[in-house]
Amino acid sequence: MNTVSRATTAAIPIETPTEVAAATGRARKGPPARPMPGASAERLATAEAIDRAAHATLARATKGLSPSALAIANYDWAVHLAASPGKLGALADSAMHKWLDLGRTALAASLGGADPAPLAGRDPRFRSAAWNAAPWRLLSDAFQMGTAWWQEATTDVRGAQPHHLRLVEFAARQMLDAVSPSNFPATNPDVVEATRAEGGANLLRGFEHALDDARRKASAQPPAGVENFRPGEAVAATPGAVVYRNRLIELIQYTPTTATVHPEPILIVPAWIMKYYILDLSPANSMVRHLVEAGFTVFVISWKNPDGGDRDLGLDDYRRLGPVAALEAIATIAGPAKVHGVGYCLGGTLLAIEAARQARDAAPRFGSMTLLAAQTDFTRAGELSLFIDESQLTVLEDMMWERGYLDTKQMAGAFQMLKARDLLWGRMVDDYLLGKRVEMNDLMAWNADATRMPYRMHAEYLEQLFLQNRLAEGRFEVDGRAVAIEDIHVPIFAVGTETDHVAPWMSVHKITLLAEAETTFVLTTGGHNAGIVSEPGHPRRSFRSAVKAPGAAYVDPEHWGEIATPHLGSWWTAWFEWLAMRSGARVVPPTLGAPERGLPVLAAAPGAYVLAP
């Protein structure tokens, strides 16, 4: 690795273009550039380091977004829209009719007549009855009509790239959400009424909330109430022990609570973007505890929260040091029985890669595979894909390259933007204008316990899976050879959630197209987290399911509901039964760890990695 002076690069590591390509897995397009007269590898490396530092500085100001990507998308949209007289005429006609509808609403209100019926599909921000009265009705209708017009203007523009249109539509929606009348005290009737009824006490409480939030953010403190949900106490409290540790994972084995257990252990691979105890929250909604009580031997990977020293850990390091190392430890402790693999979100993608590698090498270790809100095909990856193109990846790479990891703030900000209406503006109205704090719960506290991602791994993940979709296309390589999902023949249980904004269920459903194994697909109510944490007895939970036999015809997600069977209650119960049907006769539980074989108990659960900031 080449280096230059601190004065030139502010102690930022210098990498040659060849080293960068090797580290990220990104193939540089086109023939190699002809060196400029007098150019040297050191000069080129210095130039690239300066560019990367500039990009990283820009990325901090834009919260990780690429201004170039948005500018190109806007240009593509504007040029093609300007060249579409039919579309422009339709937009003018739509605007005229919306103005006429708004005029009729205003006239009815001024004459004291009955209020017209609310707009069809009314925005939840205006669901309270106060928004139906004048003048609030006029404000809400005008905003909703304007939002609908902009959606018409930024979609179905012939000739423009679909990715660019989606990005422009997303950006327009973000700007409109920021100026919604519900966001301002003088134009929100609920805030006006609360202020009148409380004599302004709600605004005073809101100001105190804002000060508290600002103080906590400045001092890097978690939100108020998180201290009541410490791992190992109120959450992540299922008894167990750390039985294996390497530089990237701690493997937790849970203490059995039944006299006998199924012989096939369960290995849970959570996403490294989250702390593992999303699946071991409070005792009532802990998936781990429910599995143990159902007679399963459960192992869970607890990922280390990486820092700058882990910058060069790649996606294959996560596979080898994660599920592969865990399987070796499980075999030492529990014997050679097949393992039920369970992967959540990115952990499910990694699990599928390892299962495909095992199938390719005829070295099966999994007896079944469960994918929880996990994608193996990224062609329908939802709004997260808006931030995945060459320009955006360059900005993200350079931002991570500077520190060696993707910071928790960037990740939290990206997910917040995807649901800005609820997570940003809705929270602002409740906390700062109405003066109401939502009481902290275990899921909210877990969500605030954020993690980082190493530079190399995240760059490889975005490039090879999100952008190039190599896994679904049979081009993702492990140990120098491609792996394919269709080689996996163990039974698969895949779960999608109806309102998932991270892994849309139609994307998760693609496993039924890629895999040739028996595949049970379940679609449950809830979102990416709340839909998975769906314990028996949870109110208002339901799910649909259908089984695709090997060789059966594929049913696309648009028609999947026609063949799916509806069920009331939690999908956990159906999954536990599915696992039990694919397990052998129950046996005496294995011991915690295997001290005589080099795997002593290292610490009590939840271990050390989950507690590290």
- Is 345 a residue of the active site? yes
Which of the residues 20, 248, 313, 345 is marked catalytic?
Answer: 345
Q: Are 571 and 497 in contact (CB under 8 A)?
A: no
Structure tokens at 176: 């409109």
| Pairwise CA distance, residues 452 & 204, whole Å | 36
| Pairwise CA distance, residues 276 & 342, whole Å | 12
Q: Are 295 and 586 in contact (CB under 8 A)?
A: yes
Measure Cα distances from 612 to 241, 271, 279, 392, 506 in Å: 17, 17, 18, 30, 35
Helices (H), 518-583: 557-560, 571-581
- The terminus-to-terminus CA distance of the chain in angstroms comes to 30
Cis check for the bond before 557: say yes or no (omega within 30 of 0).
no
Which strand ranges, in their side-by-side order, compose the sheet holding 492-497?
Answer: 565-568, 542-548, 519-524, 492-497, 366-372, 339-344, 266-269, 298-303, 249-254, 240-245, 603-604
CA dihedral 65, 69, 71, 72 (to 10 degrees): -170
CB count in 10 Å sphere of residue 405: 26
Structure tokens at 565: 């069977």
Helices (H), 284-389: 287-293, 315-319, 325-334, 346-360
| Pairwise CA distance, residues 578 & 368, whole Å | 10
| Pairwise CA distance, residues 575 & 491, whole Å | 12
SS3 603: strand
| Pairwise CA distance, residues 252 & 300, whole Å | 5
> Residue 370 burial by CB count (10 A; 0-12/13-18/19+): exposed, middle or buried?
buried
> Residue 286 burial by CB count (10 A; 0-12/13-18/19+): exposed, middle or buried?
buried
Q: Are 466 and 388 in contact (CB under 8 A)?
A: yes
CB count in 10 Å sphere of residue 196: 10
Beta strands at 266-269 and 298-303: parallel, antiparallel or unpaired: parallel
- φ, ψ of residue 242 to 5 degrees: the values are -80, 120
| Pairwise CA distance, residues 264 & 339, whole Å | 5
The set of catalytic residues is: 345
